[in-house]
């Protein structure tokens, strides 16, 4: 079974010679400095032949020695400086299945093989507070790196300062101030692996990236598509780890790509993009099983929390919990199975191939501002037709369906504007904000439609179990009222968005 630890640490180059740590008792907040002795560590790092993991600042190693021997996968944490998530699995000969899944979106079907071996003699010191709690662990490592083929080695010494669990990151600043006074500087390498690859000459070609800044309309569209492709790959392990909002964000990346293929069909050959778009549609639908359950459960729970206790008749929360758990177990297993499927990996390969040899049409070489603005305006016109159609219908099923179709059009217009922001600037930002407002109203309306279906299901289950269905009927009525509110709100929101405020040149 794999476990995850948030690792917040800083690395420093140890000065040459017989270096000794300065007196760290002078660091504010430190009561004691405890020598924990020396441990010998032996770690073999794995990657693909072209080092895809290293290119994304991911490390995968099998380590013996110390108190955490086993397989370690370190994933970057974008929102927190100096932080990485370390996923650990017990020591075994082969890579554990749980860790193999977390790198599958990068590795695909390629083999993982040793690239470098690190032998470290680690002298560990604990910094503790007055109450005896651990503040940070300071390690001085004498490292020997050996390339997998044995042809080159490298040696160096470094210092690691790792914050204790739940520690204040500001404490690292205090330790660093003391180290700097002793002549210690931050390491220029992000990890031991990065330094080992560089110093043993084992570095392979990094990810190919466009060298020039985008200029044409096609350049900007391709930059947008690459960003979404990268998001899919990067979010894959987060979805597998069930991190908050990860399924939603992955689904959004798939939608943005699909939307771009439709919006820019005059720039990219539809004969090439449409099969890929269909696969993205499939992925979005499969991810939606988990995401829709998550949103629906949160909505119903919020409704229940807002009711007076006197109106909660019967085991309402227990019934919702049973209903949710049953759906969740199936949806989580389904989501992971999708990410493990050959079809999903083929989709990622297809996206890579499309972006490596983009099917650009003649208009893609035109001026970016004019072409992107025209595309966004066309999407806006499509939205206008759908909103007007929905508003012309009487309340009921037909209007619900029409508003849902308008919602999808609003989302597409918003994505078109957001993709154009690097070119059109404030105009596109304002346009996107107005489209988002329309999408929000229409989205809440659709969520109410879906919630009513779920509440009816819950009422039926309650009745079958001999429970009162009063509360579920009450919540159903609230959702009906919420939908009516959104329908009354839409004309005003659309009036503010009806003028796109974009110029096509």
pLDDT digits (tens, 9 = 90+) for 449-477: 999 999 999 999 999 999 999 999 999 99
**pLDDT at residue 504 in the model:** 62
Task: Tell me the C-alpha to C-alpha distance, in Å, between residue 105 and each of 44, 193, 468, 486.
Answer: 22, 21, 48, 40
Task: For 421-477, give the DSSP string.
Answer: HHHHTHHHHHHHHHHHHHHHHHHHHHHHHHHHHHHHHHHHHHHHTT---HHHHHHHH
**pLDDT at residue 324 in the model:** 85
CATH superfamily, with its number, for domain 3-199: Hypothetical Protein Pfu-838710-001 (2.40.320.10)
pLDDT digit string, tens, across residues 31-88? 999 999 999 999 999 999 999 999 999 999 999 998 899 999 999 998 777 899 999 9
CATH of 217-497, one of 1.10.1740.10, 1.20.120.160, 1.40.20.10, 3.40.50.800: 1.40.20.10
**pLDDT at residue 372 in the model:** 95
Nearest Cα neighbor of 437 from 413, 469, 463, 464 is 413
For 122-177, what is the HEC assignment?
A: EEEEEEECCCCCEEEEEEEEEEEEEECCCCCEEEEEEEEEEECCCCCCHHHHHHHH
List the single range of 213-217, 286-290, 343-347 with lowest mean pLDDT. 286-290
Using a pLDDT cut of 90, give the percent of the chain over it. Answer: 85
Task: For 57-126, give the DSSP string.
Answer: T-EEEEEESSSS-EEEEEEE-TTSTTEEEEEEE---SSPPHHHHHHTHHHHTTPPPEEEEEEEEEEEEEE
Distance of alpha carbon 283 from alpha carbon 344, whole angstroms: 7
Distance of alpha carbon 231 from alpha carbon 64, whole angstroms: 33
**pLDDT at residue 96 in the model:** 96
Q: Which residue has the higher pLDDT, 500 or 236?
A: 236
**pLDDT at residue 171 in the model:** 97
SS3 at position 343: helix
Examine the pLDDT at 208 and tell me if it is beyond 60: no
Give the mean pLDDT of 301-329.
90
Extents of the domains making up the chain: 3-199, 217-497
By residue count, the chain amounts to 505
Its pTM surpasses 0.85 = yes
Examine the pLDDT at 205 and tell me if it is beyond 70: no
Grade residue 17 by pLDDT with cuts at 50, 70 and 90: confident
Give the mean pLDDT of 308-317.
95
Distance of alpha carbon 365 from alpha carbon 213, whole angstroms: 14
Tokens for 387, please give them.
Answer: 């909103």
**pLDDT at residue 396 in the model:** 93
Give the mean pLDDT of 109-127.
96
Q: How many CA atoms lie within 13 A of 47 on its CB side?
A: 26
pLDDT digit string, tens, across residues 355-412? 999 999 999 999 999 999 999 999 999 999 999 999 999 999 999 999 999 999 999 9
Examine the pLDDT at 211 and tell me if it is beyond 60: no
pLDDT digit string, tens, across residues 325-336? 877 666 778 889
Using a pLDDT cut of 70, give the percent of the chain over it. Answer: 97
Distance of alpha carbon 229 from alpha carbon 211, whole angstroms: 18
**pLDDT at residue 323 in the model:** 86
Q: What is the mean pLDDT of the chain?
A: 93
Task: For 205-255, give the DSSP string.
Answer: PPPP---SPP-BHHHHHHHHHHHHHHHHHHHHHHHHTT-TTHHHHHHHHHH
Examine the pLDDT at 210 and tell me if it is beyond 60: no
pLDDT digit string, tens, across residues 69-79? 999 999 999 87
Tokens for 31, please give them.
Answer: 């009561």
Grade residue 15 by pLDDT with cuts at 50, 70 and 90: confident
């Amino acid at each position: 079974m794999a476990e995850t630890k948030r690792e917040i640490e800083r690395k420093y180059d140890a000065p040459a010679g017989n270096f000794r740590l300065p007196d760290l008792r002078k660091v504010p907040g430190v009561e004691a400095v405890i020598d924990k002795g020396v441990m010998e560590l032996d770690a073999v790092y794995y990657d693909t032949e072209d080092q895809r993991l290293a290119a994304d600042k991911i490390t995968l190693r099998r380590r013996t020695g110390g108190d955490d021997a086993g397989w370690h996968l370190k994933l970057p944490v974008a929102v927190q400086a100096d932080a990485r998530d370390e996923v650990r699995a017990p020591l075994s000969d082969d890579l554990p299945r749980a860790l193999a899944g977390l790198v599958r979106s990068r590795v695909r079907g390629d083999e993982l093989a040793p690239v470098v071996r690190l032998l470290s003699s680690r002298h560990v010191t604990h910094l503790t507070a007055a109450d005896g709690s651990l503040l940070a662990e300071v390690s001085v490592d004498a490292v020997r790196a050996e390339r997998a083929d044995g042809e080159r080695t490298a040696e160096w010494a470094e210092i690691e300062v790792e914050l204790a669990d739940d520690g204040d990151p500001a404490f690292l600043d205090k330790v660093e101030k003391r180290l700097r006074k002793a002549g210690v500087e931050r390491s220029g390498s992000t990890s031991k692996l990065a330094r080992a690859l560089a110093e043993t000459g084992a570095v392979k070609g990094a990810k190919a990236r466009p060298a020039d800044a985008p200029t044409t309309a096609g350049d900007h569209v391709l930059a947008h598509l690459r960003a979404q492709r990268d998001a899919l790959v990067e979010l894959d392990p987060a979805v597998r780890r069930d991190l908050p909002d990860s399924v939603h964000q992955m689904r959004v990346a798939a939608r943005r790509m699909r939307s771009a293929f439709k919006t820019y069909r005059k720039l990219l050959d539809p004969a090439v993009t449409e099969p890929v778009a269909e696969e993205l549609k499939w992925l979005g639908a499969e991810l939606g099983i988990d995401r829709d359950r998550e949103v629906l459960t949160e909505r119903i729970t919020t409704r229940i929390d807002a009711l007076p206790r006197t109106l909660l008749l019967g085991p309402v929360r227990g019934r919702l919990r049973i209903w949710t758990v049953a759906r969740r177990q199936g949806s989580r297993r389904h989501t992971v199975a999708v990410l493990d499927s050959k079809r999903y990996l083929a989709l990622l390969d297809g996206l890579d191939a499309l972006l490596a040899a983009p099917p650009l049409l003649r208009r893609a070489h035109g001026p970016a501002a004019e072409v992107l603005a025209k595309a966004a305006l066309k999407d806006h016109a499509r939205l206008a037709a759908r909103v007007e159609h929905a508003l012309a219908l009487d309340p009921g099923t037909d209007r619900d369906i029409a508003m849902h179709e308008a919602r999808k059009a609003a989302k597409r217009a918003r994505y078109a504007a957001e993709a154009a922001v690097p070119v059109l600037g404030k105009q596109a930002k304002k346009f996107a904000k107005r489209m988002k407002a329309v999408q929000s109203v229409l989205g809440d309306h659709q969520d109410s439609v879906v919630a009513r279906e779920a509440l009816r299901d819950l009422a039926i289950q309650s009745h079958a179990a001999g429970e009162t269905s009063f509360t579920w009927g009450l919540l159903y009525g609230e959702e009906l009222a919420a939908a009516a509110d959104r329908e009354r709100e839409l004309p005003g929101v659309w009036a503010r968005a009806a003028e796109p405020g974009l110029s096509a040149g």
